[in-house]
Amino acid sequence: MPLVAHNDLPTFGKLQREGLLVLSPGLAHQQDIRELHIGLLNMMPDAALAATERQFLRLIGESNPIAQFYVHPFTLEALPREQSASDHIAKYYDDFEQIKQQGLDALIITGANVIGADLSEEVFWDELIEVADWAHDNVTSTLCSCLATHAVLDFRYAQKRTKQRAKKWGVFRHQVVGVSHPLVVDINSEFDVPHSRWNSVYPEQFAAAGLKVLVTGDDGCVHLATSPDGFRTIFFQGHPEYDTVSLLKEYKRDVNLYISGEMTDYTPIPENYMSDFNAAVLREYQGRIDYSLAQKSEPPDFPEHLILGNLKNTWQDTASAVIGTWLGLIYQVTNVDRRKPFMDGVDCDNPLGLR
């Protein structure tokens, strides 16, 4: 499913240089296959804005090429932005009114960098509900990532997330538990998923909401679930879209916050992510940081060059397969008129014919 570079968003060029198939509009118009228009509600903070674009566009672009994908990024006006991010958004992003007018076949809602457990106190809360409710009525399927999952479970199913005693962060083993669903039928029964979150919605809450749980972790946490109809809303609690280096970048950010005094505790190394060599390098670096702070001397540079070559990605193939299946299902049941979520004859309460 090749991406179509329908504007000058720099992410298109970067992905093309990485070897991903990206079509120009002229070439796309010559293809005898149907378009799918996908909204990307990007709620990530400024530093992660472009990286999040690349992560989700990469997963879309790696899917089976049965359609041409037009990805329409947009964000929420209530989210505070610095000037460079505001300029990027103004130049390359749609606004929600444009999205509503043109219609979408699918919507992805990203996570956001929020620590507090009560999402209803966040400045973007009302805007997010407006987008999610519009999508529920007008878009074939919405995929929610991490915080977006917590938000929809809160306002639609009255299941509030709870802050954990420790941050769940690293790469964790998961198992398929809903083998009859198309999203998981053709993937490995066990696979890895990155997580990075302080808060959780627990399995009994998914059950209370009547949701279909498809994938759980070794500790019982829910990673992948769907709305009761099996398709209209897809919930991820982890971050399958993460790049190989995403957790390293988060770790480096937290270390810099510790150095600046904005964090009082030194951040732990992400679990099951670093090799023994990398972990040793980072422990030695932590000692040097603490010594430099005690001596009030210049802290050493982060040893990224020693770590990058030893990082492993054990989750991307499965993530691509799940997203590819999701998009293929959307292609099958979506009406060409994107203002009508399902084709005539499709049961809106059970669009995939699940039993």
What tokens does 254 get?
A: 């937290």
CB 161 within 8 A of CB 148: no
Angstrom CA distances, 12 to 63, 84, 99, 265, stand at 16, 19, 20, 38
Specify whether 82 is catalytic.
no
Specify whether 348 is catalytic.
no
Distance between CA 340 and CA 335 in Å, rounded?
A: 6
User: Which one from 88, 122, 239, 250 is the annotated catalytic residue?
Assistant: 239
Distance between CA 353 and CA 338 in Å, rounded?
A: 21
Distance between CA 107 and CA 70 in Å, rounded?
A: 12
User: Which one from 146, 174, 181, 221 is the annotated catalytic residue?
Assistant: 146
What tokens does 161 get?
A: 């997330």
Give the distance, in angstroms, between the CA of residue 122 and the centroid of all CA atoms in the same chain. Answer: 19
Angstrom CA distances, 178 to 88, 200, 223, 354, stand at 40, 20, 12, 12
User: Which one from 53, 62, 127, 241 is the annotated catalytic residue?
Assistant: 241
Phi-psi region of 261 (alpha: psi -120 to 50; beta: other; left: phi over 0): left
- Give the angle subtended at the CA of 39 by the CAs of 61 and 147, to the nearest 5°: 100
Active site positions, annotated: 146, 239, 241
